[in-house]
Structure 1
């Protein structure tokens, strides 16, 4: 009895205590984003430790003793708002507030200026609430993992890898042709004539708010989609003002260890050198020097950025953000070997036991973003981005060259300078016309100039008396000039109309009508000048490091050598006419979406129609009289997306769609791209593939920073395109519809977990991330189909194959420790990140030869970033700690032949930044 009495007394006391309290509740909204709910904002009783955070719908609730209080509403990057409140026992008071960045005094590092759209937790919330299946990676996560470019950034997400030595990515095993790239939802051109997509490495993460990866198709996207779309969302600033300076240095261990880091003279260090075909190029020697000069391989970078917001009347706001940066790097491949022309019996035509590559690369980026919020219903953004990149490189191959250096005494040297200039201009609008109707639109003009001025190659034999230039074939020694100019105008517009309003003021349904269009033109020209030693001078001893002693005006006049193009020498009237091809692409697309919420189930049914016209014209060494080819296609592309909310933390999703894959200009132009160990040629008979895609995904969001998801996906592709070796004297590679069908199926796992939270203030925590992807792919290979549909002869070694670029297993893992002190002014983040991909097919084998396969590798990076005080920050990134050997093999019945091998070395990057 006594025990029961005590329990009863305690219960009554607790009940009475609870009844003496009052409740403060309400909703916080985002004033800068059309008063959308503001999740994870802070609500604090001023002068106390009592507080809470808003949930994913911006709602909060506080239980307090009766009395008078001052509430402080805050969110990083936004102004604090205070509100007095009186609470009586048992009373509930509702206080709703809208937060914005109006008078906020920024006292933190710039990474926090618009943290609401950069934080991992906010992006996870967006992923959870979205009907579409997508993944986002924001500035906060990129900073934590030490990522400096967009290409590396997207590889940190599930199912995506990057091709070694380039910014080309593979999404679920599907390469460049199956993917697309946009910026703020508008397409951007490629800077490489051999690629559909722009090299994502040239985009610094300094300009990025977040990156959205769509691996599931929706009708708002262009139909040329099978792997994924990478959308770069440019950074936008809101706040009272900041100015920041970044200074960095970078060292590659292979570059510093190189005995002879020498590159061709004549190019400035900022990457803005321009070269052109010299005057009277066939009769006068006005070419740039071939001499080399030494370089001190220690790189650096500097950048400045700033932003400020201005009030425009009572409801308007003007937001400005700008950044300018320039940097360079020295890079070297070491311990290398290479082979070319390997036949089905393992006989090698080019066997280079020593292969080295060194390069000096630059990147200059400038961006301005102007956002004008007219009022809470109307917003316009202008975004202009300029990027200039350059690469000055030298590759050397030493060893056996059949019929040129049969004693293994050959040397091939290729000096190459590439400069690409990209300029993107975008105007975007967002208008809330009524509570039911919303208009979004955007237009863009983008231009790219890609130059490869004066790439030069020379082949030598190292005789006992010295080096002798090869004179077997005129192109053995040449200088190559290439220009690409591409212009693209693109636009989109869509109108949303909501219907079936509920009693709570929410709408159950939405219909969207929209249009997308793109109009692209490309002009490409290339001229190669061949330098052939004349009879009597073919055994002249030369200095490889000073070829100006042989190639000069005096020796040209004396008949030591002659200069010609593929059309002929100076006696041929059109000898200087370049090889050219032009491309025109027109895509007009319209779409209609219907979205409806059936309580826990939300469905989106979409239909897109597109008219596609592509025309390619050429005049090249393969077709000196010129030719052209046209491709027309009308596509009807249905899509269905379903989202079922199992509970507040779990979703089940399903998606199905039809898309297509379009050949690229360079793939259909009858033009030859020559490398040292391989040659690629276009195929005018190449045509589009049709793709069918499905996804099934389960996801769980245990906490704001945590995620567990499992995805099953499949793709069926009709008439897939691949790179294959065609029957030719030089074993050229071309682009072919290789069979009637192909398919891929796989599963993805993503896991983000807060392992330890060491204190209540969330100032010290250990977190981990893991994502893995398993893929099975198979495609039909039909020799008879290729012979019937093209002018090329291809005999496949096998009757089926994996997709090119497809890895069975992809893995990304990271472990991060975060520590904050000094009243949260100072902090340190350390991260270890590991990436792995298994073997993947580079090119499909033919004529008895096996596939070319890039072998599996794993890489490990270490990142440490610290904010020492409110102004000063430091960062250290060490990349490629394991320094694995990069290998490519050709699979043969007699045994695999290693056709390319090298190491990249470790790269150390130290950065210091100061914000005023």
Structure 2
């Protein structure tokens, strides 16, 4: 599809969906209740909250005190807890929550379920993801500095979206302060892998801001040529010039060669020393008394993080030889460097009218830039039996992920209407994934008799591949929530309800180009990249250089979603003996995803691209207050997990987490989930303990499967399995080490321990599919871990000048992808993480913090057939920061 073609995706997506089904305005109630720090009546009934101040032990204990009052099982991490553990963003913080694990430092797995079974809200609102391969937001984009708290609700309640699998994460950003605040911090860091020199290339542009300066993007000449000629072949261009004849063909071949000079070819890779990381943040907030009982507040902040990390990886694949499985090759060694810049900004305004009315605005901007170079040395099918030859595959990837969210929300208590409380919010959010330059090429290396190595870019029609991608998501989210408290004898009642509307539109475009070097001699293909593809070599007619944009599969698509939702619920608390919550949510869901051909026309069947469904999603929660220290919970719910836009669109893309090629499947169905939880909680003084069991039954779970067993070129897709289930037990505890007397007691009183453990099993029954010879039709769910454990040892000095935390985290092995053609399933192995943070406060308001990550220095490994399939070295990270708070 031409880069010059423009689509009004909001208009296109909306009109298509409206043609399918008229939007019904549901004058009922809303789902996404907005939460902030102000303790209004409506908010007090929300999920579990920790008011954090002072010691970590105190803040954790206050969480336990809050938990017993909440109707649904939830967890929360506050600002102080996140800071104390040394977590730099939302993703790394959440892996400390019971039953949660972190994948590739971006996505959260809840109770061993993959990221598709978790959902994310921003201040209670649904927002788009800037990652084109996932429906959930990459949580590493949210820096710790803008986070007030992270709420994880693991039992469904009807005010949440029905797309609820393992849990829901609500990221609550810093709100209007209670007093004037000023915070500034600077820090530096280093990874042990960076002791070696890293890689860089000259033509990268100036990226210190985390934004491409235009060097990498598709040139105006190239874009104009696509708009004018469409497919860039000599024959096609000759036809556009007036017809296929000798003169026009000669001119067309000249045009094709000249277009080759319109690409950024300053891609010579060199080694350079790696600079230490740098991060800094600045925030300010204050309040103004405008009149009696009228307060105006402002909160603003900005953060910047620049980091570089070298890459060390290994990978191999297996092939079937007769009835046996043999390694295709030795390990491919992958070296590289990733440069990353994160920039975020926040601006919030608030207006309080007495104690009953509050209106806030919130603008959040996030930008995450990655510039990655990978160089892989190894064999392929062409060289496996040639000991004197091997390949070098070079890939350069630059991408910008951005998100801009504008929110307007209000909260009103109406005493004259029986203390009715109303919350509402409107959110307009945009997300973009812009990859203006992805380059891949292969170099062949021949060892000669004298021991020297002759290297040359392969002579091929697809010798070099350029890719330019742009994906834009626009969303609107409107919701309101109402709550009416009632008293009836010893019974306290609360009637709640709400309405929500969500709309998403997506425009995704990818332009791919190939360099044809068939006419080059091997000597001409040897040397630096900029020399091989210099202007003189490209324009030399004798080299028969060509550039083409011919692709075998569509890469562009348009997509849209609409959700109308309403819910109603009732809570009954009888004499503080028991509490019951009953509610139901209704959602009307519409989705369409349209792959586009080379000329922008819709390809494929329109019927296969549409998903229409509606349904009721009930939830019940019962709490029995056994005595002052002990209570029991029971919960049951019905929810759904729907296929992502990318999963139902039959276009080809590369998964950035696995580097596998992936294609969508238009026939995917939604997964219906029945969930049950039973939990026993014991609160004693400052300590607390809990143990619970959970069960989830999944109908039509969506699984990633391998469609092609081509060696070294895995092609993944998605299919519905028949059924699946997850069940297990989880326990957690918090205990101050104050049980000893005498000298030992004085020594241990300042320490506390906290931990959690989840043990679970999963089962899935999947049928055979054409083109996918699955090895195991009965197995565990992809991404599921049989155990997840977290342990913290904390220390707070008496004068609060010294604080330290030692944190351990481990998860059990989990299926990375299912095996085919008699190959076993590939399992990601357990990863033991041990981190340490220490902070020193020499004077009030000033803190120095030291952080040590991955002290055990473990590698990430995926095993298949008992052999390492993929290995990634994480390295040890060290950080030092200084902060001042006023």
For the aligned pair, the TM-score class normalised by the smaller chain equals: 0.7 to 0.9
Query: Is the CA contact 1:124–1:136 (under 8 Å) kept in the aligned structure 2?
Result: no
- Report which stretch shifted further, 551-560 or 900-909: 551-560
Partner of 1:151: 91
Structure 1, residues 750-774: CA drift from partner, whole Å, max 9, x if none? 1111113999999962111111111
* 2-structure distance, mates of 1:136, 1:813: 16
* 2-structure distance, mates of 1:350, 1:188: 44
- The question of 1:608 aligning with 2:585 is answered yes
Q: SS of the residue aligned with 1:882?
A: coil
Query: Is the CA contact 2:775–2:824 (under 8 Å) kept in the aligned structure 1?
Result: yes
Decide which structure has greater strand share. 1
Number of residue equivalences: 786
Deviation (angstroms), 1:779:
0.5
Deviation (angstroms), 1:561:
6.0
- Report which stretch shifted further, 751-760 or 384-393: 751-760
- The question of 1:266 aligning with 2:246 is answered no
* 2-structure distance, mates of 1:876, 1:815: 16
- The question of 1:855 aligning with 2:829 is answered yes
* 2-structure distance, mates of 1:898, 1:136: 37
Query: Is the CA contact 2:761–2:786 (under 8 Å) kept in the aligned structure 1?
Result: yes
* 1-structure distance, mates of 2:455, 2:644: 42
- The question of 1:410 aligning with 2:391 is answered yes
- The question of 1:533 aligning with 2:472 is answered no
Deviation (angstroms), 1:719:
0.8
Deviation (angstroms), 1:321:
1.6
Going from structure 1 to structure 2, the CA distance change for 1:562 and 1:700 (only over 3 Å counts) comes to farther
- The question of 1:719 aligning with 2:700 is answered yes
Partner of 2:454: 466
Deviation (angstroms), 1:542:
2.3
Larger Rg: 1
Partner of 2:472: 485
* 1-structure distance, mates of 2:761, 2:443: 45
* 2-structure distance, mates of 1:298, 1:342: 42
* 2-structure distance, mates of 1:608, 1:800: 33
Query: Is the CA contact 2:738–2:748 (under 8 Å) kept in the aligned structure 1?
Result: no
Query: Is the CA contact 2:42–2:422 (under 8 Å) kept in the aligned structure 1?
Result: no
Query: Is the CA contact 2:145–2:281 (under 8 Å) kept in the aligned structure 1?
Result: no
Given candidates 62, 68, 73, the residue that maps to 1:133 is 73
Partner of 1:94: none
Deviation (angstroms), 1:736:
3.1
- The question of 1:780 aligning with 2:719 is answered no
Query: Is the CA contact 1:697–1:712 (under 8 Å) kept in the aligned structure 2?
Result: yes
The equivalences for 1:330-341 within 5 A come to: 330-334=308-312, 336-340=313-317
* 2-structure distance, mates of 1:873, 1:582: 50
Query: Is the CA contact 1:466–1:541 (under 8 Å) kept in the aligned structure 2?
Result: no
Unpaired runs of 5+ residues, structure 1, are 1-29, 39-55, 58-74, 77-110, 569-574, 788-792
Partner of 2:28: none
* 1-structure distance, mates of 2:747, 2:167: 36
- The question of 1:710 aligning with 2:684 is answered no
State the TM-score, normalizing by the size of structure 1. Answer: 0.81
Query: Is the CA contact 1:337–1:900 (under 8 Å) kept in the aligned structure 2?
Result: yes
Partner of 1:740: 722
Partner of 1:499: 486
Going from structure 1 to structure 2, the CA distance change for 1:664 and 1:563 (only over 3 Å counts) comes to farther
Going from structure 1 to structure 2, the CA distance change for 1:458 and 1:567 (only over 3 Å counts) comes to closer
Query: Is the CA contact 1:827–1:867 (under 8 Å) kept in the aligned structure 2?
Result: yes
Structure 1, residues 207-250: CA drift from partner, whole Å, max 9, x if none? 11111001111111111111111001111243432322211001
Partner of 2:404: 423
Going from structure 1 to structure 2, the CA distance change for 1:539 and 1:116 (only over 3 Å counts) comes to closer
Q: Which has the higher contact order (CA 8 A, sep 6+)?
A: 2
Q: SS of the residue aligned with 2:504?
A: strand
Going from structure 1 to structure 2, the CA distance change for 1:756 and 1:319 (only over 3 Å counts) comes to farther
Partner of 1:375: 354
State the TM-score, normalizing by the size of structure 2. Answer: 0.84
Going from structure 1 to structure 2, the CA distance change for 1:376 and 1:476 (only over 3 Å counts) comes to same
Q: CA RMSD in A?
A: 3.0
- The question of 1:314 aligning with 2:273 is answered no
* 1-structure distance, mates of 2:306, 2:160: 35
Q: SS of the residue aligned with 1:177?
A: helix
* 2-structure distance, mates of 1:353, 1:794: 26
Going from structure 1 to structure 2, the CA distance change for 1:116 and 1:830 (only over 3 Å counts) comes to closer
Given candidates 508, 511, 521, the residue that maps to 2:505 is 521
Partner of 2:23: none
- The question of 1:444 aligning with 2:427 is answered yes
- The question of 1:296 aligning with 2:277 is answered no
Query: Is the CA contact 1:832–1:861 (under 8 Å) kept in the aligned structure 2?
Result: yes
Query: Is the CA contact 1:120–1:138 (under 8 Å) kept in the aligned structure 2?
Result: no
Q: SS of the residue aligned with 1:132?
A: coil
Q: SS of the residue aligned with 2:132?
A: coil
* 1-structure distance, mates of 2:115, 2:585: 23
Query: Is the CA contact 1:521–1:585 (under 8 Å) kept in the aligned structure 2?
Result: yes
